[in-house]
């Protein structure tokens, strides 16, 4: 009988807040925040090393993100979608460190990697670069990505695997008594609740007594709009869930300059709404009845076209406040992508313990997303804005029907979160 490895992938996104006074809106990340390099390496060469490092996984992770989105969105029910492709790919890349033979090949291919294009050690090094770059405690944007292994206290892990998960994926390794399932669940849930600032209070329940290890990845994200919305301009309005269903939402409004375009081929609006620092939210608004067509067309190439084609101009922008959550059986999603052995008795995860007696029984991903004007700040200012008459007037883009949201990191070129909002009021 094989021991069970339980897999959790958790994502918490905090509410989006106002820009703090005194912070320059174009603040850039310092090169000093990247992993220390040998002292003899010149700064220019150090920057080039970092660039080529994380770029090893940019294209595969982008391909995987859109592939996963389409798989999740293919559910016939018109439900909200929120998940982190980066969280899922990071966790399963970490698992590759312990996989062998066919199990390893399936994981590698399932994550859209190609052994002929890159050596595996370069891939793990690239994930390390992404993790280290995102985890910058002094940034205005709060971004925490991390990994943890809760290990049966009687287990002995392969020293190489243990060293790799600690050094490459900066994972916490925590001895746990799984014979006491209640205590083990509480320990894991408390850890996740703390790491996600309370956004995910219960990560796991119904833990199997035969569980020998729980591997998890978490992400917590809290960002400020570069140009915040005004609370005073938020009004209640209609959101059209479908042809027969309308709900009331609090609609934020701001008139300002944004990068945007109208993609006539795909029948949708695309608006780039920047956060502080290197983070950006992309809002995609399909024309009425065109949601599925836009989703089917989504790809890395389409997104690249949008990124290079948007033009900055003034618009009337309306985006609803919303809070959505999602929970997904990643085991089912990966099996549909050909990753099967790791979940059955053919699993070869002998790189974890030195023996082929481990399989993954459960892989769960949970995510929550809150979008609103921001936190509370005490300040007073009187401003008068004057504008010249423009012909034609700036367009109005109102996200009052199903739309797609993608949060990415500009410099790392990674998609961190992907969402579809069909009903902002759904719990």
Q: Which of 371, 393, 409 is the last residue of a domain?
A: 371
Q: Do both 361 and 314 map to the same domain? A: no
Tell whether 312 is covered by a domain.
yes
What is the reported pLDDT for 10?
56
Pairing of strands 211-222, 142-152: antiparallel
Boundaries of domain holding 240: 231-321+381-421
CA distance 107 to 113: 9
Nearest to 424 by CA among 247, 229, 271: 247
Q: Do both 135 and 263 map to the same domain? A: no
Cα–Cα–Cα angle for 415, 421, 423, rounded to 5 degrees: 165
Q: Which residues contact 222 (CB under 8 A, 6 or more apart)?
A: 13, 14, 15, 16, 17, 141, 142, 143, 197
Q: Do both 44 and 164 map to the same domain? A: yes
E strands, 211-295, are 211-222, 235-240, 246-263, 268-274, 279-286
State pTM to two decimals.
Answer: 0.84
Q: Do both 78 and 58 map to the same domain? A: yes
CA distance 64 to 41: 34
Q: Do both 124 and 166 map to the same domain? A: yes
Whichever domain contains 347, its CATH number is: 3.30.497.10
**E strand or H helix at 127:** helix 120-134
Residue by residue, pLDDT tens for the chain (427 residues) are 344 444 455 555 544 444 333 333 333 333 333 333 333 334 334 344 444 577 888 999 999 999 999 999 988 877 899 888 998 899 889 999 999 999 999 999 999 988 666 688 889 999 999 998 888 776 777 888 888 888 888 888 899 999 999 999 999 999 989 889 899 889 988 998 888 888 888 888 888 777 888 888 888 888 888 889 988 899 999 999 988 999 999 999 999 999 999 999 999 999 999 988 788 999 999 999 999 999 999 999 999 999 999 999 999 999 999 888 888 888 888 899 999 998 888 889 899 888 777 888 778 888 888 886 642 222 222 122 223 234 567 899 999 999 999 999 988 888 999 999 999 998 7
Q: Do both 271 and 192 map to the same domain? A: no
How many independent structural domains does the chain possess? 2
Tell whether 427 is covered by a domain.
no
Tell whether 85 is covered by a domain.
yes
Pairing of strands 268-274, 279-286: antiparallel
Q: Which residues contact 416 (CB under 8 A, 6 or more apart)?
A: 84, 85, 86, 219, 221, 279, 407, 408, 409
Q: Which of 338, 353, 371 is the last residue of a domain?
A: 371
Q: Do both 291 and 247 map to the same domain? A: yes
What is the reported pLDDT for 234?
94
Q: Do both 128 and 81 map to the same domain? A: yes
CA distance 123 to 118: 7
Q: Do both 306 and 348 map to the same domain? A: no
Tell whether 292 is covered by a domain.
yes
What is the reported pLDDT for 236?
96
Q: Do both 121 and 53 map to the same domain? A: yes
Q: Do both 21 and 44 map to the same domain? A: yes
Cα–Cα–Cα angle for 91, 10, 188, rounded to 5 degrees: 95
Whichever domain contains 417, its CATH number is: 2.30.39.10
Tokens describing residue 90:
């990071």
Q: Which of 335, 353, 371 is the last residue of a domain?
A: 371
Tell whether 336 is covered by a domain.
yes
Q: Do both 198 and 331 map to the same domain? A: yes
Tell whether 376 is covered by a domain.
no
Assign 220 to helix, strand or coil.
strand
Q: Return the exposure string of 376-405: e unless at least 16 CB atoms fall within 10 Å of the residue's CB, then b.
A: eeeeeeeeeeeeeeeeeebeebbbbbbbbb
């Amino acid at each position: 009988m094989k021991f069970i490895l339980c897999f959790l992938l958790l994502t918490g996104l905090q509410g989006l807040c106002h820009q703090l006074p005194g912070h320059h809106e174009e603040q850039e990340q310092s090169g000093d925040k990247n992993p220390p390099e040998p002292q003899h390496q010149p700064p220019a060469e150090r920057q080039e090393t970092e660039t080529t490092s994380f770029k090893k996984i940019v294209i595969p992770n982008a391909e995987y993100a859109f592939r996963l989105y389409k798989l999740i969105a293919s559910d016939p029910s018109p439900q909200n979608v929120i998940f982190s492709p980066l969280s899922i790919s990071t966790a399963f890349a970490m698992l590759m460190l312990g996989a062998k033979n066919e199990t390893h090949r399936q994981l590698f291919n399932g994550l859209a990697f190609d052994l002929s294009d890159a050596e595996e050690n370069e891939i793990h090094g690239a994930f390390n670069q992404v993790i280290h770059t995102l985890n910058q405690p002094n940034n205005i944007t709060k971004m925490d990505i991390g990994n943890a292994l809760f290990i049966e206290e009687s287990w002995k892990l392969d020293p190489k695997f243990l060293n790799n998960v600690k050094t490459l994926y900066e994972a916490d390794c925590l001895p746990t008594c799984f014979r006491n399932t209640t205590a083990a669940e509480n320990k894991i849930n408390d850890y996740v609740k703390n790491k996600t600032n309370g956004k995910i209070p219960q990560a796991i329940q119904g833990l199997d007594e035969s569980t020998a290890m729980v591997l998890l990845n978490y992400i917590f994200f809290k960002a400020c709009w570069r140009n915040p919305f005004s609370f005073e301009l938020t009004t209640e309005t209609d959101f059209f869930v479908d042809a027969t269903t309308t709900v009331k939402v609090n609609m934020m409004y701001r008139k300002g300059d944004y990068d945007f375009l109208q993609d006539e081929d795909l029948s949708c609006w695309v608006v780039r709404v920047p956060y502080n620092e290197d983070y950006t939210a992309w809002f995609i608004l399909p024309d009425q009845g065109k949601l599925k067509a836009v989703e089917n067309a989504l790809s890395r190439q389409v997104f690249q076209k949008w990124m290079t084609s948007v033009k900055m101009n003034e618009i009337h922008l309306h985006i609803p406040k919303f809070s959505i959550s999602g929970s997904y059986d990643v085991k089912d999603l990966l099996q549909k992508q050909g990753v099967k052995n790791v979940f059955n008795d053919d699993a070869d995860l002998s790189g974890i313990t030195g023996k082929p007696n481990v399989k993954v029984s459960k892989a769960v991903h949970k995510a929550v997303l809150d979008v609103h004007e921001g936190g509370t700040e005490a300040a007073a200012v009187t401003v008068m804005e004057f504008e010249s008459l423009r012909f034609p007037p700036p367009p109005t883009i109102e996200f009052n029907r199903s739309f797609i949201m993608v949060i990415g990191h500009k410099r790392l070129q990674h998609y961190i979160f992907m969402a579809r909002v069909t009903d902002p009021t759904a719990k």
